[in-house]
Chain A
Amino acid sequence: MRLDDAARPPKARRVWLGLASVVALVAAYTLLSNAYRVVDPSLLPDPLRGLLRPQILPPTQRIVDAFVQLVGAGAPLAGGADLHPGDHIGGLVEQRVTLQGSLLVSTYRVLIGLAVGGSLGILAGLLMGWSRAVDEYVHPIYILFRSVPPLALITYVMLWLGHGTAHLLIPIIYAVFATVVIPTYHGVRDVADVYVKAARALGAGGRLLLSRVMLPAASPFVLAGLRYALVIAWMTTVGVEMLMGDDGVGYLLIGGGLWSSRLEVAGDPAVIVVGIVGLALVGYAMDVGVRVAGDRLTQWVKR
């Protein structure tokens, strides 16, 4: 309960306000993106001249078209439909890359990253926070490795394991792992101390201490870490897919193709916007999921 709870508008009104602001945003964008039809952009002053072009701000109706095409791309092709396999959307449709399919694959990668990297990171954080010896040995190595951007690993992973879909998961797992360790560590070391002492005085040790005392004591911090790791996981996933993937949103954004020839396809802004909006929506939903689950798990926290 927060003090300002009473001052907040009721829920129904909040939803309406939220919707209204989205509608306003879409309307404003539609006007702006269609402005080039009315005014010749080359007459405009400099930053506007560059921006108000359909190549940069695709008109809303083009985005909707791209959306419909990408959602329907899985269906068998209608014969004679005007398809240009050379351009961004044409290539995708030809390969039957759908928006929902791409989002699903990426979401799956993010979830695997969170599950595997999250558990390993929590475990490492717990051990480092628990044992001074582990902390002293592992911490410098951890700091050293943490500074390596996850995407920097991808070429090495490829050299090492070859080109495979499963290998894309390694940088994602690593990114989540590195993000979760530190909050867990601080939760255990800085917050749990008095509880750990109390538990030990009550005769607890080993697994009971770890699972029933340290982990719950650190859990508000772990959850904050996971929420942040979710963002990092998405960044890494899309990056990895752009560089090496054969599917996923990153692949969709970059227009498919073999990774060596990727940059030869000119990006279609409408596809990119569709992909970005899809990412934003899925990211939002997942954040709500983590937050709601987290609030349930930490009902006990005084707020």
Chain B
Amino acid sequence: MPEPRRRRLEMRDVVHVYEGKTATRALDGVSLDVHDNEFLAIVGPVGSGKTTLVRIVAGFLRPTSGVVLCDGAPVTGPGPERGYVFQEEAIFPWMSVRDNLGFGLLAKGVVASEREKIVAELVRLIGLEGYEGAYPKELSGGMSKMVEVARVLATDPAILLLDEPFGLLDAQTRSKMQDQLSLLWEEKRKTVILVTHDVEEAIYLADRVVVFTPRPGRIKVEVTVDLPRPRSLETRFSPAFLALKRSIWKEIGRA
């Protein structure tokens, strides 16, 4: 059922050059719209500017030229309506799992009792009951990544920017996390940009996959993923899935 397709994020001719000893042209004119409640995945080779683009959308980086609009207004800095999960580890090691999860709510001024409720719900969602008081150093890499994703979800941002959130996980945890993210997205319906190296992950989760060229990053091809939802293990072996996978690999291979 085609919903009214409101444009949530608009990127127009985004160019980014990192100044420095060697000026690096990371993005070379990227134009991309992300619709409301759309799940968009970006794949591309190492150093193709994926993180750069997401940082610009998150508001941490100003593009050298071009504009990014969020709900029609230019992005000028980070904001709680755009939740950002970093490629590197960014949960606060000095806070317990509970305090990490509640931090966004604290910043928003949510009262303690309400905060507790939401945090308890999130803990259940990521299956970390019993670890509420633990410091991140007591968690495995996968567990802390889940905390990081859940921390961003706490304030219920309309847009989620996920930069290789599952990059460091083993295949099993990874697929579990993908299922959880998929469920979550279906339940809460958010606009998501997911950066990943994993073509299968991109197809499995996204409505649309954008493939970047090697540096300087440009959009090479866009592939619409019209696999039915909810998706499951079966989806991963369906002919339609494999056909999509094949066509994306072909695009990547054609340098």
Contacts and interface: CB of A to CB of B under 8 A. Distances in A.
A217 B155 contact: no
A105 interface: no
Contacts of B79: 201, 203
A203 B94 contact: no
A205 B60 CA distance: 14
A208 B107 contact: yes
B58 interface: yes
B78 A201 contact: yes
Interface stretch (A68-76, A106-114, A130-138, A295-303): A295-303
B84 interface: yes
Interface stretch (A37-45, A190-198, A247-255, A272-280): A190-198
Contacts of B80: 201-203
A274 B81 CA distance: 66
Interface of B: 58-60, 77-80, 82-84, 86, 88-95, 103-104, 106-108, 135-137, 151-152, 155
Nearest to B79: A203
A201 B107 CA distance: 10
A213 interface: yes
Interface string A240-279: 0000000000000000000000000000000000000000
A300 B103 CA distance: 17
Contacts of A301: 93, 137
A212 B103 contact: yes
A293 to B, nearest CB: 15
A194 B88 contact: yes
Interface in A89-104: none
Contacts of A201: 58-60, 78-80, 82-84, 152
Interface string A169-210: 000000000000000000000000011011111111100100
Given A200-B78, A300-B136, A302-B137, A219 B94 contact: yes
Interface residues of A, number: 22
Contacts of B136: 300
A299 B86 contact: no
A110 B74 CA distance: 53
Contacts of B89: 194
Nearest to B93: A300
A216 B92 contact: yes
**Which 10 pairs of residues, A with B, have the shortest CB-CB distance?**
A203-B80, A202-B104, A204-B107, A216-B94, A198-B90, A203-B107, A300-B135, A201-B84, A302-B137, A201-B78
B106 A194 contact: no
B80 to A, nearest CB: 4
Contacts of B152: 201-202
A7 B190 CA distance: 53
A197 B94 contact: no
A300 B78 contact: no
Contact of A213 (B60, B83, B92): B92
A218 to B, nearest CB: 10
B113 to A, nearest CB: 19
